[in-house]
Amino acid sequence: MNSVRHDLVAHLHSFGDRPAVHTAGATLTYRELADRVHHVATDDLGGDRKLVLLETTNDITTLVRYLAALAAGHVVLPAPPGSDHTDLLGTYRPDLVIDAAGIHHRAPGGHTLHPDLALLMSTSGSTGSPKLVRLSGANLLANARSIAEYLDIRETDCAATTLPMSYCYGLSVVHSHLLRGAALILTDLSVIEEDFWDLFRRHRGTSFAGVPYTFDLLERIGFAEMRLPHLRYITQAGGKLAPQRVQQYAMLGQRRGWKLYVMYGATEATARMAYLPPELAAGRPTAIGRAIPGGELRIDLSWASEATGDQHDSDGDIGELVYRGPNVMMGYAQSIADLAMGPGVDELRTGDLARRAPDG
């Protein structure tokens, strides 16, 4: 078993009776979560290493099965429920399919799985495309540690799962909080539903994550007037948030006592590459900020010179944004043979144009 991958779950017992998971009807401590994960890993998912397609919903059963598959050393392919998995099933022939109905054993797929491989993710998180991102246990752990560090995630924090676990952003919330012994509020409720906020308040929620559309929904429900006494921060990723909206929420947070973290990432970087420190958000709403801890950003001017005609301006030279760090993917998979391949990428060329401002 890959020990780095196992580190994401091996520590769960160490947080003892701290709350790990809240739902509308139950609370699970870390000790209880660890026991359930161990039971499923040994009794239901034991044996030779397998490829597991896991339909994900934001509930305790899915979380336990996901962590158990990692603990058992399997490779997990998260997928949204109710979607057509025909292409994924035909291309990768998973040994197990786990959905709401249970654990389904299929004919052995005959896989050769690279020992570092832990997770296969769709680049979009929802399309079911057979082109997947190969992520190692080291990728998962490195990105979880970086995110937990710059967000200053604490044992007393409690994050609501506003995004699916089949999406790298949603899964990163799970990884980073469990790594620090913080709690999760597992729900598939939308932020436009009052029941979501009742649950958030009941369990003293301290954070939630949003994509740009989430902020459109927050406008519709009058979020600015809501009383959320324990909210510490909101994170945003999954697309560019309009600069005026960044300023609006950064300033709202300043008035109400919470922070806005605008973040930049990609599935190919496990989730996160950069974040904008909250104190800069109101004044620098177009910036992606700085590289996450352990990562490095550079500007490749040669690529952009060809694409843009050698642009220059007073704010700095425009070039392709390139990221390097321990969370950069192993590579892509487009066939079952690719699952045996080792790391083939040491930096991520984002394809995005950027400039480095004079202040860095």
Task: Please report how many Cα atoms fall inside a 13 Å half-sphere around the Cα of residue 46, on the Cβ side.
Answer: 6
> Is position 35 within any domain?
yes
In a domain, 200, yes or no: yes
- 285 in helix, strand or coil? coil
For 341-350, write each residue's pLDDT tens digit. Answer: 999 989 999 9
Please report whether residue 96 resides in a domain.
yes
- For residue 223, what pLDDT is reported? 98
- Integer Cα distance of 318 and 64 in angstroms: 45
Classify residue 201: in a domain, yes or no. Answer: yes
Where does 271-358 show beta strands of DSSP type E?
A: 272-276, 290-291, 296-300, 318-324, 331-333, 348-355
Task: Answer whether residue 360 is part of any domain.
Answer: no
Per-residue CA distances from 169 to 147, 210, 236, 347 (Å): 11, 9, 10, 20
Q: How far apart are CA 51 and CA 13, in angstroms?
A: 26
Residue 319's pLDDT is what?
94
Distance of alpha carbon 291 from alpha carbon 102, whole angstroms: 41
Beta strands in 162-229 (DSSP E): 183-185, 207-210
* H or E segment and range at residue 233: strand 233-236
Query: Which structural domain range is residue 97 located in?
Result: 3-355
The pLDDT value given to residue 84: 87
pLDDT at 314: 43
Dump pLDDT digits (tens) for 181-202.
Answer: 999 999 999 999 999 999 999 9
Q: What angle do CA 136, 139, 142 make, to 5 degrees?
A: 150
Residue 288 lies in a domain: yes
Q: Give the DSSP H/E element, type plus range, for residue 53.
A: strand 51-55
In a structure prediction context, what are the per-residue pLDDT tens digits for the chain, which is 360 residues long? 455 566 788 899 999 999 999 999 999 999 999 999 999 999 999 889 999 999 999 999 999 999 999 999 999 999 999 888 999 999 999 999 999 999 998 877 678 999 999 999 998 544 556 899 999 999 999 999 999 999 999 999 999 999 999 999 999 999 999 999 999 999 999 999 999 999 999 999 999 999 999 999 999 999 999 999 999 999 999 999 999 999 999 999 999 999 999 999 999 999 999 999 999 999 999 999 999 999 999 999 986 555 555 555 444 589 999 999 999 999 999 999 999 999 998 999 999 999 988 876
* pLDDT at position 146: 98
pLDDT in tens, 130-153: 899 999 999 999 999 999 999 999
What pLDDT is stored for residue 125 in this prediction? Answer: 45
pLDDT for 88? 93
Residues in the chain, overall count: 360
The whole-number pLDDT of residue 130 equals 87
Q: CA angle, 70 as apex, 64 and 76 as ends, to 5°?
A: 95
Angle of helix 3-10 relative to helix 60-71, nearest 10 degrees, comes to 140
Count how many domains the chain has: 1
Angle, vertex CA 156, rays to CA 151 and CA 160, nearest 5: 70
* Structure token digits, residue 281: 């958000």
In this structure, are strands 158-160 and 117-122 parallel, antiparallel, or unpaired? unpaired
CATH (domain of 111):
3.40.50.12780
Of 54, 10, 58, the closest CA to residue 208 belongs to 58
Q: pTM of the full predicted structure?
A: 0.93
Query: Can you give the pLDDT at residue 313?
Result: 45
Q: Judging by DSSP bridges, how do beta strands 348-355 and 318-324 pair with one another?
A: antiparallel
Per-residue confidence (pLDDT) for residue 7, from 0 to 100: 74
Residue 61 lies in a domain: yes
* Phi, psi angle pair for 293, to nearest 5°: -55, 130
Q: Is 89 within the bounds of a domain?
A: yes
What DSSP designation does 241 have? P
